[in-house]
């Protein structure tokens, strides 16, 4: 399947990838883009590849990650080497001692070091055909395009966090090489997942532990996993061919420490579970209820594999906060897949080019105009200030003279009558220095989006509180009252719950896609109660 | 035993109560909360708690360490729900206690007490999973709208009565030395006094000099428990006999503003908070939003918050606000602190964090802040309104603190640090409700 998507190196013009998903309304475009198609195709392709061909023990064992039968080509071993080299930089940059809130600021140094060496490393470790492809006059080199995805794969230096958006970026890096002919279809799949991608996952775990990277946009116990998703897809695929009750460990055995210890070296699912057990203290069913529930799936690993892919499509690729920083260039193209059309009335989004942005998922509120990575943008400081979204304390009560005020006003103004576009109050003078460097003022930076920090899930105009287990977000502008859907709309729409500030996938699936949730907004509810 | 007491009993065992009962309790809670001011006045002694985030067993540990409700007067600064597994049980227990003992527990709103946030960060999912419908979530959210936005603690003493140590020579000496006026006391894990600072100590306390290694559980030898003398339940009232000392300008700790997040550029006085229309979902911006979302930061003035809501504010903002409002301290929560609490800006603001080992993995300890009462100054004890408008007095004190040699004018405060509860006997659920994607 990879062949039709292949890109001819000699004639292709590479482009500097750019962030193009700027709000929730861009998501439908993304979901029909060539980039999305490519990602989904490759996930499917690798999942199929690591699924045993038969239900017998031999087939199953042939898909163990440590199986001696897996042939590692030069191209794949080079990726493993690349990751080992990047991983060794951790030893050069020990975590900073001393008080800190959570994430270790030394990670920024690590990240900067990797970035500074990245081109050189790619030249050394990527296939020569790719390395030697020069840039066309109106484009960039292949390495420069790929580099963005590689660097996006190691978490956010700014926020000191890591999540599935970063994982996606690295996966795209591997896919990009594949598309450019760097790997051989039909031969390199197993090694790429079990050696290269596994090496990546282990590197990430080391990073998380060394620099206490936070889970990006953590849902706490109500997410699938704090950091990862793809190992659950590939790991369940490894066991998906064997009928329940035969051979490989049953899904329910994820709670048995001994089984996890035995399997984590050869199965990506168990490796991920093992890492959770390494970092979390407490009963597994309590700190990871989602995985615990899934372990009871009727239909065993095959069902889990299918469910994980559905969930990935909805909760990672379908989530604005997760994919908003995925950059689009020539390999991962923003163009629509032929034969697909956007719904009528849908704005053409390719007309909104923005600053290029590094990979990584956003964990800040999407409506905010702070660039995700200040080092990679040229926007003027004012765009980072919330000038465009004036702080509208527009509560009418505030306009009352202060002198008369003790306690709440006797008559509350109607809660929903909030004049919009209130002028910026005179007493707000954002410190220009800090607003341009936020969120890293000094060494005590708030690590945003992770365990420690909740970010606002509402977005600029269209994102809104689009949760509630329904279709995509209802439009709503900053300064307006949050728009709680009074009823469910768009049941089963692919984009269910856009939230910002987050990457980690996974809410309880009982809500996912299509479960009808009806409720009224609080105001009406109150009135009803009053009656 | 009333139904309410039975519900409290059941929730204490971490068992959810029936939906209809939730509805009833939420209704009663609203009737109580609607009468409360945006900034609720709370008399010291009081024990101030930070984020809970559904960590029910740790909330039980908090009560064990700080004393039970209603024996101890509590003030919770929001973020009861989301992320943890037991948001429902935690919030409902606190709410039942509020209904049962309205004058002994104060609940103020955190940024997670919101429809939108709870649908993203777990509480909604939890309700669906535990009840099969969103009804309970809806009842709770309706209560959220009525929670106060802040609280003003008045009548706090300027010192805490030092917790006596049984033996421990060094510690004893320290106590004696500081006996006249202990401004800050830290009771670490196992009830061990790890720090006492007299008002005359020039240094200021923060995580710089209270690193985890200073906590007994992380050092090798800790005389755990042996030195515990504070009686849980009376912790906050440790200063039961007023200490009068000529060395101090006055025997009041002044007023302490408690708010979940922090300050707002739109709010220059506590009175302005009172003007807000709070009975609504937390807006995306504006003063009410900022109070619940902002963070202090080492900057000058105001900065953009990377959270995408609220602002960052610097020391100058806090000091000016405290000065203008005759506050000696702002207590807030909202940010994980590895050591459980962190004082900033010359102790003008403190972050209190009460969810130990946050999300089962952060490895942090938690803390609660006890403010003792001040028995020597009746004026400041006689009611909220009075102290608010008794500016002459407090302003004089404030200027003494800020202009004079006194570096700190904060109330006497005792921090009790605690760890996550043991997780020995939590039974595994037999049912595995299947997430949608895996059906």
Residue A370 near chain B (CB below 8 Å): yes
Which of A316 and B164 is assigned the larger pLDDT? A316
Helix, strand, or coil here: A7? Answer: coil
CA separation for the pair B66, B54 (Å, rounded): 18
Q: Could you tell me which residues come within 8 angstroms of residue B5 by beta carbon, excluding any fewer than 6 positions away? A: B100
**Residue A390 reports pLDDT greater than 70:** no
pTM for this entry: 0.74
Question: Nearest-CA neighbor of A509 among A226, A307, A211?
Answer: A307
Interface of A with B in 245-284 (CB under 8 A): 255, 279-283
Instruction: Kindly identify which residue of chain B lies nearest to residue A392, measuring between CA atoms.
Output: B286
In this prediction, residues A269-298 reach a mean pLDDT of 94
At A294 the pLDDT is 94
**Residue B234 reports pLDDT greater than 90:** no
At B148 the pLDDT is 98
Token duo for residue A39: 């990602």
In this prediction, residues A415-424 reach a mean pLDDT of 35
DSSP letter, residue A501: S
Q: With contacts defined as CB-CB under 8 Å, which chain A residues touch B286?
A: 391-395
The Cα angle at residue A359 between residues A46 and A191, in degrees rounded to 5: 25
SS (H, E, C) chain B: CCHHHHHHHHHHCCCCCCHHHHHHHHHHHHHHHCCCCCEEEEECCEEEECECCCCHHHHHHHHHHHCCCCCCCEEECCCCCCCCCCHHHHHHHHHHHHHHCCCCEEEECCCCCCHHHHHHHCHHHHHHHHHCCCHHHHHHHHHHCCCECEEEEECECCCECCCCCCCCHHHHHHHHHHCCCEEEEEECHHHCEEEEEECCCCCCCCCCCCCHHHCCCCCCCCCCCCCCCCCCCCHHHCCCCCCCCCCCCCCCCCEEEEECCCCCCCCCCHHHHHHCCCCCCCCCCCHHHHHHHCEECCCCCEEECCCCCCEEECHHHHHHHHHHCCEEEEEECCCCCCCCEEEECCCCEEEEECCCCHHHCCCCCEEEEEECECCCCCHHHCCHHHHHHCHHHHHHHHHHHHHCCCCCCCCCEEEEEECCCCCCCCCCCCCCCCCHHHC
Helix, strand, or coil here: A429? Answer: coil
- Out of B53, B307, B338, the one facing A455 most closely (by C-beta) is B307
User: A392-413, pLDDT tens digit by residue?
Assistant: 333 333 333 333 333 333 333 3
Instruction: Kindly identify which residue of chain A lies nearest to residue B144, measuring between CA atoms.
Output: A522
Interface of B with A in 178-207 (CB under 8 A): 207
**Helix, strand, coil share of chain A (percent; to 5):** 45, 5, 55
- Out of A293, A397, A427, the one facing B276 most closely (by C-beta) is A397
Annotated active-site residue in B53, B57, B112, B260: B112
Q: With contacts defined as CB-CB under 8 Å, which chain B residues touch A451?
A: 336, 358-359, 361-362
Residue B428 near chain A (CB below 8 Å): yes
At B432 the pLDDT is 81
DSSP letter, residue A63: T
Token duo for residue A277: 């057990």
Answer yes or no: do B211 and A415 touch at CB < 8 A. Answer: no
ipTM given for this complex:
0.78
Which of B315 and A423 is assigned the larger pLDDT? B315
Q: Looking at the DSSP assignment, which residues form a beta bridge with residue B255?
A: B327
Q: Looking at the DSSP assignment, which residues form a beta bridge with residue B368?
A: B49, B416
> Which secondary structure element, helix H or strand E, spans residue A99, and what is its range?
none
Shortest Cα–Cα distance, B263 to chain A (Å): 12
**Residue B153 reports pLDDT greater than 50:** yes
Query: In chain A, how many H helices and how many E strands?
Result: 19, 4
Answer yes or no: do B122 and A517 touch at CB < 8 A. Answer: no
Question: Nearest-CA neighbor of B263 among B330, B196, B203, B209?
Answer: B330
Q: With contacts defined as CB-CB under 8 Å, which chain B residues touch A303?
A: 438
> Which secondary structure element, helix H or strand E, spans residue A161, and what is its range?
strand A161-162
């Amino acid at each position: 399947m990879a062949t039709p998507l292949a890109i001819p190196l000699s004639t292709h013009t590479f482009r500097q990838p750019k962030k193009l998903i700027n709000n929730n309304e861009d998501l439908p475009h993304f979901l029909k883009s060539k980039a999305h198609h490519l990602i989904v195709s490759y996930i499917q392709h690798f999942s199929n590849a690591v699924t045993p061909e038969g239900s017998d023990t031999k087939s199953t064992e042939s898909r163990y990650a440590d199986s001696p039968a897996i042939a590692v080509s030069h191209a794949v071993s080079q990726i493993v080497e690349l990751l080992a080299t990047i991983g060794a930089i951790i030893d050069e940059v020990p975590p900073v001692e001393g008080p800190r809130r959570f994430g270790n600021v030394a990670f920024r140094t690590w990240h900067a070091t990797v970035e500074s060496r990245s081109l050189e490393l790619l030249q050394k470790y990527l296939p020569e055909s790719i390395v030697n492809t020069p840039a066309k006059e109106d484009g960039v080199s292949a390495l420069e395009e790929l580099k963005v995805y590689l660097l996006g794969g190691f978490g956010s230096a700014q926020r000191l966090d890591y999540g599935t958006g970063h994982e996606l970026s690295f996966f795209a890096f591997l896919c990009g090489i594949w598309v450019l002919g760097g790997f051989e279809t039909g031969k390199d799949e197993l090694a790429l997942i079990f050696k290269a991608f596994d090496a990546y996952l282990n590197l990430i775990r080391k990073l998380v532990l060394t620099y206490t990277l936070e889970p990006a946009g953590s849902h706490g116990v109500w997410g699938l996993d704090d950091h990862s998703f793809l190992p659950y897809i590939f790991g369940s695929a490894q066991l998906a061919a064997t009928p329940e009750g035969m051979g490989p460990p049953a899904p329910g055995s994820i709670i048995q420490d001994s089984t996890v210890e035995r399997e984590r070296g050869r199965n990506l699912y168990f490796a991920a579970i093992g890492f959770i057990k390494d970092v979390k203290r407490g009963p597994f069913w309590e700190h990871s209820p989602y995985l615990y529930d899934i372990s009871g799936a009727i239909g065993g690993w095959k069902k889990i594999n299918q469910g994980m892919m559905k969930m990935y499509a909805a909760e990672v690729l379908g989530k604005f906060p997760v994919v908003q920083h995925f950059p689009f260039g020539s390999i991962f193209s923003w163009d629509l897949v032929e034969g697909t059309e956007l719904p009528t009335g849908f704005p053409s989004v390719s007309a909104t080019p923005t600053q290029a942005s590094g990979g990584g998922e956003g964990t800040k509120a999407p409506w905010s105009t702070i660039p995700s990575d200040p080092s990679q943008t040229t926007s003027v400081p004012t765009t980072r200030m919330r000038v465009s979204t004036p702080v509208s304390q527009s509560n009418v009560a505030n306009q009352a003279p202060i002198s008369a005020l003790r306690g709440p006003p006797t008559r509350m103004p109607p809660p929903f009558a909030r004049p919009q576009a209130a002028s910026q109050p005179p007493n707000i003078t954002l410190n220009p220095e800090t607003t341009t460097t936020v969120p890293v003022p000094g060494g005590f930076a708030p690590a945003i989006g992770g365990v420690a920090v909740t970010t606002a899930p509402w977005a600029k105009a269209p994102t809104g509180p689009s949760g509630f287990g329904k279709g995509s977000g209802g439009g709503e502008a900053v300064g307006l009252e949050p728009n709680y859907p009074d009823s469910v709309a768009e049941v089963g729409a692919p984009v269910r719950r856009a939230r910002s500030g987050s990457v980690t996938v996974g809410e309880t699936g009982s809500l996912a896609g299509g479960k009808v949730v009806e409720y009224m907004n609080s105001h009406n509810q109150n009135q009803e109660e009053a009656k | 035993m009333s139904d309410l007491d039975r519900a409290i009993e059941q929730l204490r065992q971490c068992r959810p109560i029936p939906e209809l009962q939730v509805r009833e309790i939420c209704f009663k809670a609203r009737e109580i909360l609607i009468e409360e001011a945006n900034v609720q006045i709370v008399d010291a002694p009081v024990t101030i708690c930070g984020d809970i985030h559904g960590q029910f067993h740790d909330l039980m540990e908090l009560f064990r360490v700080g004393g039970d409700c209603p024996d101890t007067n509590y003030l919770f600064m929001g973020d009861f729900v989301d992320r943890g597994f037991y948001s429902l049980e935690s919030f409902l227990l606190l709410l039942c206690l509020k209904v049962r003992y309205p004058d002994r527990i104060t609940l103020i709103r955190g940024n997670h007490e919101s429809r939108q946030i709870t649908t993203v960060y777990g509480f909604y999912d939890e309700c669906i999973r535990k009840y099969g419908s969103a009804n309970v979530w809806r009842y709770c959210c309706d209560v959220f709208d009525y929670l106060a936005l802040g609280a003003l603690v008045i009548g706090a003493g300027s010192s805490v009565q030092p917790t006596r140590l049984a033996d421990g020579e060094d510690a004893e000496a320290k106590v004696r030395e500081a006996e006249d006026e202990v401004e800050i006391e830290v009771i670490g894990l196992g009830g061990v006094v790890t720090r006492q600072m007299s008002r005359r100590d020039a240094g200021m306390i923060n995580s710089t000099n209270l690193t985890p290694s200073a906590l007994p559980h992380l050092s090798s030898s800790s005389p755990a428990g042996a030195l515990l003398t504070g009686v849980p339940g009376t912790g906050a009232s440790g200063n039961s006999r007023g200490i009068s000392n000529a060395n101090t300008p006055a025997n009041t700790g002044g007023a302490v503003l408690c708010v979940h997040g922090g300050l707002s550029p739109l709010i220059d006085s506590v009175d302005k908070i009172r003007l807000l229309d709070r009975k609504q979902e937390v807006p995306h911006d504006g003063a009410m939003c900022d109070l619940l979302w902002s963070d202090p930061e080492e900057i000058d003035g105001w900065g953009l918050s990377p959270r995408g809501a609220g602002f960052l504010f610097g020391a100058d903002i806090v000091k000016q606000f405290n000065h203008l409002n005759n506050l000696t301290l702002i207590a807030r929560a909202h940010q994980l602190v590895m050591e459980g609490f962190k004082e900033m800006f010359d102790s003008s603001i403190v972050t209190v964090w009460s969810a130990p080992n946050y999300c089962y993995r952060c490895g942090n300890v938690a803390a609660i802040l006890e403010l003792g009462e001040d028995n020597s100054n009746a004026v400041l004890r006689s009611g909220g309104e009075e102290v608010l408008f008794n500016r002459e007095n407090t302003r004089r004190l404030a200027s003494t603190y800020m202009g004079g040699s006194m570096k700190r004018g904060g109330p006497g405060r005792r921090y009790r640090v605690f760890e996550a509860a043991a997780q020995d006997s939590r039974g595994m659920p037999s049912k595995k409700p299947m997430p949608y994607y895996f059906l």
